[in-house]
Structure 1
């Protein structure tokens, strides 16, 4: 870091601190950084933003982490204080886009602060886009499995998709607004080609925000449809149980009445009485079933 502070050559200086802890953040800010920018770099909780301070800008955008994280915020932030000839940036957790940006810088494709910010915007949007598309694809599979799949497992999958879509959209839309705000400023270190790349990334974020909103609404409708199907299935089973119970109700009455152990039961000593009672029960059961079919309580 001390060698970087003494650098006086061409190009620009990028001072980047990655995976910084809460106790380390206050010590990363130099005295020449404005207080507002310092607070933005060291804030515990951040949202995507772009604010102009004289000839510099506070740029905070969020993107996928380099590794899986156990956090409700699916996207991690990079905070940048950008001005001519220098960028100070901080990430509390490794950002997936940093590796590609470092490779582009080593290849000489990044020559000024505007190129660096544009590279981050481009790489973050490119990294996040497949993840958002995967949510939509998974939801498509859920829709095709709705009629034949395991509804208990399907319900948890849909709930997870909706939760992820809400978590992503929480920062994707502000990312778009921050990049559009940055592209609208007339900084001398932000060239026309940088603005073009930033607006392209912002357009991609806008499309992802729309897709996430569609995924959220579709998952809600699919969840309601799944609930309706389960309720209909329960109703059909309850109706079937009721029909069976109604059919056996008169049969139970007849067999119970004739099965009493008292004198005077008709045909008690007739050898054909049992089969007569069986035929009577069958006729009553078929008649009740036919009545249900005629009333369309059950389908033929």
Structure 2
């Protein structure tokens, strides 16, 4: 079990050990654990003396964004970008928090990118209480996700532009990846917006008015990203349908060309097969001009059939 702890007391910021943080007085005591083992449950229930419901929420293997009131505190689960590679179905790392009076306990199973800038804010003395800490984490998460969601929209714009230029074959993979990422992000951003809104509405002295404003701002930003992801998902579906139609149209055009060529050569094959039989009585078999006469006759047939198809507009443009 690894992690860190910060204590803010009378404007003074101090980094301490995890075990030493529990006995420290201050306006903010932040204990963070990075773990996936059962030792975290024992420590949270033993030394930290947290309720069983809180321990289960902080150490659960699978989570989704949520906010639940626990007495005069709250359990909050959020999702953000990770420095590790994530799966397409679960693209965001979770952070589970329990805020109670002047203490905040947080647990992550995967490294969360937003934690480093938040720690810098704590070290600089800009975070003074639990409300400041949680709202800063929420704002850092949404700030990091915003350009990622915007890039998904830009990628889809590029795909649509290339479709207009008929470069459809290599775009199917790009569209599928963009759609898959949008679905994965939206899976967590929509409930995260609801969790932030519920957190901002919770009663409690540890949440000040400016903290609630910051949480509402983060919730609005998450809502906008969720709406953008929904739009991206729908556009990706339409783009995929367009690509499928273009592919079907290309196949139809090529099939038509093959059919026209086959129709041109079908009578020529009949003529050459008929004259190529090894039987007596073939007309003009001993004439010196017979070969060139047959060639000219075949060319004339091919020209007539080709002209017929051109007049009927069978050739694809």
TM-score (ref. length: structure 2): 0.88
The residue number in structure 1 matching 2:60 is: 43
Q: Does the CA-based 8 Å contact 1:67-1:96 persist in structure 2?
A: no
The residue number in structure 1 matching 2:19 is: 2
* Whole-Å separation in 1 of the counterparts to 2:205 and 2:316: 76
Q: Does the CA-based 8 Å contact 2:88-2:181 persist in structure 1?
A: no
Q: Does the CA-based 8 Å contact 1:62-1:78 persist in structure 2?
A: yes
1:240 aligns with 2:257: yes
The residue number in structure 1 matching 2:111 is: 94
Q: Of the candidates 71, 76, 99, which is equivalent to residue 54 of structure 1?
A: 71
1:188 aligns with 2:217: no
* Whole-Å separation in 2 of the counterparts to 1:38 and 1:271: 102
1:13 aligns with 2:29: yes
**How many residues are treated as equivalent by the alignment?**
297
* Whole-Å separation in 1 of the counterparts to 2:258 and 2:88: 47
The residue number in structure 1 matching 2:182 is: 165
1:30 aligns with 2:45: yes
Three-state SS of the structure 2 residue aligned to 1:29 is: helix
* Whole-Å separation in 2 of the counterparts to 1:67 and 1:255: 69
C-alpha deviation, 1:71, in angstroms: 7.1
The residue number in structure 2 matching 1:175 is: 192
The residue number in structure 1 matching 2:132 is: 115
C-alpha deviation, 1:62, in angstroms: 0.7
* Whole-Å separation in 1 of the counterparts to 2:222 and 2:286: 89
* Whole-Å separation in 1 of the counterparts to 2:194 and 2:179: 23
Three-state SS of the structure 1 residue aligned to 2:278 is: coil
C-alpha deviation, 1:265, in angstroms: 1.5
* Whole-Å separation in 2 of the counterparts to 1:169 and 1:24: 33
C-alpha deviation, 1:150, in angstroms: 6.6
Q: Does the CA-based 8 Å contact 1:293-1:299 persist in structure 2?
A: no
* Whole-Å separation in 1 of the counterparts to 2:55 and 2:38: 15
Q: Does the CA-based 8 Å contact 2:86-2:92 persist in structure 1?
A: no
Three-state SS of the structure 1 residue aligned to 2:45 is: coil
Q: Does the CA-based 8 Å contact 1:48-1:62 persist in structure 2?
A: yes
Structure 2: which 5+ residue stretches go unaligned? 1-17
The residue number in structure 1 matching 2:223 is: 206
C-alpha deviation, 1:191, in angstroms: 1.2
The residue number in structure 1 matching 2:289 is: 272
* Whole-Å separation in 1 of the counterparts to 2:33 and 2:133: 15
What RMSD over aligned residues (CA atoms) do the two structures have, in Å? 1.7
C-alpha deviation, 1:67, in angstroms: 3.1
* Whole-Å separation in 2 of the counterparts to 1:251 and 1:66: 67
C-alpha deviation, 1:4, in angstroms: 1.2
1:284 aligns with 2:301: yes
C-alpha deviation, 1:285, in angstroms: 0.9
Change (3 A) 1:25 1:72: farther
1:77 aligns with 2:77: no
Map 1:133-144; keep pairs closer than 5 Å: 133-144=150-161
Structure 1: which 5+ residue stretches go unaligned? none
